[in-house]
Structure 1
Amino acid sequence: MASPRSLALFLLCILAPAPPVPAALLFGGGKSAKAAGGLDMEWRPATATWYGDAEGDGSDGGACGYGTLVDVVPMKARVGSVSPVLFMDGEGCGACYKVKCLDRGICSRRAVTVIVTDECPGGLCAFGHTHFDLSGAAFSRMAVAGAGGRLRDRGQLNVVYRRTACKYGGKNIAFRVNEGSTSFWLSLLVEFEDGEGDIGSMQIKQANSVEWLDMKHVWGATWCLVRGPLVGPFSVRLTTLSAKKTLTARDVIPRNWAPKATYTSRLNFEPSL
């Protein structure tokens, strides 16, 4: 019998609407400093809070679906929950940001780097506000040495943030086959993407085929395809959301693939924007 989570993913795969509004439209117009691929590189104002244990790593899993990955290096203590304007219906999952507070009496001049792993949909995160709800450890790292406790005592801070390249320290992109996947319904979660960190489109190619099949973004960092029977090994092609950089992992998912298994490629994007 299918688990509630795998059944929910299957229904989302069938019923998911058209792709959400592009990030550029959400941020609005105006002149700004941009990387070559169109990413906004300016420092922008936002607010920040923290949750969990005072020096904790943050939540287990989160809306992006990374599960226990958030508890181990390289994500450990670097996770963040963001408001919908940055979460973008899950298209913002995996993106990396530098965040720093502004009070020179207690805030370090260095920014903390956080990875989007979750969404905070209400409260300070609602009504189009840009907000970061950070792990206790990440929040504390914005303080000068020895002042983490005093900074946490403030609860809510005014901060500035900007996009930064994700760097996973030599790890290559991996693909987790979600629970419940079959030869007629394949659901994949993308892990450890250097550079932009987010995915704009995803395609797979079956064994002995020249046709690239479009996968559908349904939830968090999860993509799916309803079609079959699907025959591995599968090649996977990723295109980043903003810069439209493309990477192809050939035959990365073997013929005898299994649900809940993770398959690691031999490549990654450049760790830059």
Structure 2
Amino acid sequence: MQPRRGFGLFIGLWASLMLSVRLASAQLTHAASRQRWKPATATWYGSPEGDGSDGGACGYGSLVDVKPLKARVGAVSPVLFKNGEGCGACYKVRCLDRRICSRRAVTIIVTDECPGGYCSGGRVHFDLSGAAFGRMAVTGERSQLRDRGEIPVAYRRTPCKYPGKNIAFHVNEGSTNYWLSLLIEFEDGDGDIGSMQIGQAGSSEWMEMKHVWGASWCINNGAMLQGPFSVRLTTLSSSRTLTARNVIPHNWSPRATYTSRLNFS
């Protein structure tokens, strides 16, 4: 019997090693894909030097009007919006017309969706704030660049960076002790969310939350929810996980925002 136990241990170690190799390979592939510039098109909306959307389809509300989101607003076509799962992702966008554009790329955060018009047909398109669009121009040519309308651009994913900020959880209006909805803010790194779980006080069970819309997730398990709540996030792009313990207190209230002590590095 001893050889069989040894063989079983060998198989277990081998499976663990292969899983680690696959995860490492996936992370390297994801990192490499961030570095590749891809073709797309871009327009702008809002006022010429403005922040773009007033709120937006991701549900960030007034956050789009203040730093660090201010003037970095980006509405994207459905292929990048991903029914809201693309919310929070960050991209670098660079104009390709060297006659009027600098080599400087602007960094934008997905806060809104551009579902029709320029954004239809499965194409990759960015509808940027007037301020972000103008920053791609050479000095003194912002107005002329905006007058071009649709322009060819190159884009690539880039890590989100919110210096001095930790991940925050905004309790959406309408939440109750039986239905809890959370909006994720200031997520460094991938910026997007692939899955989300919540843990109640006094329980070791993690309950799956459902993606509602934009950057909002909810849970309704048919029984009263007991805080404080811990929240576990898994990113969509690279499956990285972060757990914020007891981040939402037992006396939580709708429309309040609770900041964790953590963020993705």
Give TM-score scaled by structure 1 length. Answer: 0.85
Q: Shift in Å at residue 130 of structure 1?
A: 0.5
Name the CA distance, whole Å, in 1 between partners of 2:85 and 2:220: 20
| Aligned match of 1:89 | 83
RMSD: 1.0
| Aligned match of 1:64 | 58
Name the CA distance, whole Å, in 2 between partners of 1:90 and 1:156: 24
The alpha-carbon distance between structure 1 residues 188 and 98, as it changes in their structure 2 partners (threshold 3 A), is same
1:198 counterpart = 2:215? no
* Aligned pairs for 1:249-268 within 5 A: 249-268=244-263
Tell me which amino acid in the other structure corresponds to 1:262: T
1:238 counterpart = 2:233? yes
1:209 counterpart = 2:191? no
Q: Runs of 4+ in structure 1 displaced over 6 angstroms?
A: none
Name the CA distance, whole Å, in 2 between partners of 1:43 and 1:257: 43
Q: Shift in Å at residue 107 of structure 1?
A: 0.8
1:223 is aligned, of 206, 217, 240, to 217
1:136 counterpart = 2:143? no
| Aligned match of 1:24 | none
1:53 counterpart = 2:9? no
Q: Shift in Å at residue 115 of structure 1?
A: 0.3
User: Secondary structure of the equivalent of 1:199?
Assistant: coil
| Aligned match of 2:149 | 155
Q: Could you list the runs of 5+ residues in structure 1 that have no partner in the other structure?
A: 1-33
User: Secondary structure of the equivalent of 1:195?
Assistant: coil
Name the CA distance, whole Å, in 1 between partners of 2:259 and 2:139: 38
Q: Shift in Å at residue 147 of structure 1?
A: 1.2
Q: Shift in Å at residue 38 of structure 1?
A: 2.4
Name the CA distance, whole Å, in 1 between partners of 2:110 and 2:197: 23
| Aligned match of 1:169 | 163
Give TM-score scaled by structure 2 length. Answer: 0.88
Q: Shift in Å at residue 146 of structure 1?
A: 1.5
Tell me which amino acid in the other structure corresponds to 1:151: L
2:243 is aligned, of 239, 248, 256, to 248
Q: Shift in Å at residue 35 of structure 1?
A: 5.4
The alpha-carbon distance between structure 1 residues 100 and 266, as it changes in their structure 2 partners (threshold 3 A), is same
2:70 is aligned, of 72, 76, 82, to 76
1:146 counterpart = 2:140? yes
User: Secondary structure of the equivalent of 1:36?
Assistant: helix
| Aligned match of 2:176 | 182
Q: Is contact 1:36-1:243 (8 Å) kept?
A: no
2:120 is aligned, of 122, 126, 130, to 126
| Aligned match of 1:12 | none
1:38 counterpart = 2:33? no
Name which one, 1 or 2, has greater alpha-carbon Rg: 2
Q: Shift in Å at residue 124 of structure 1?
A: 1.1
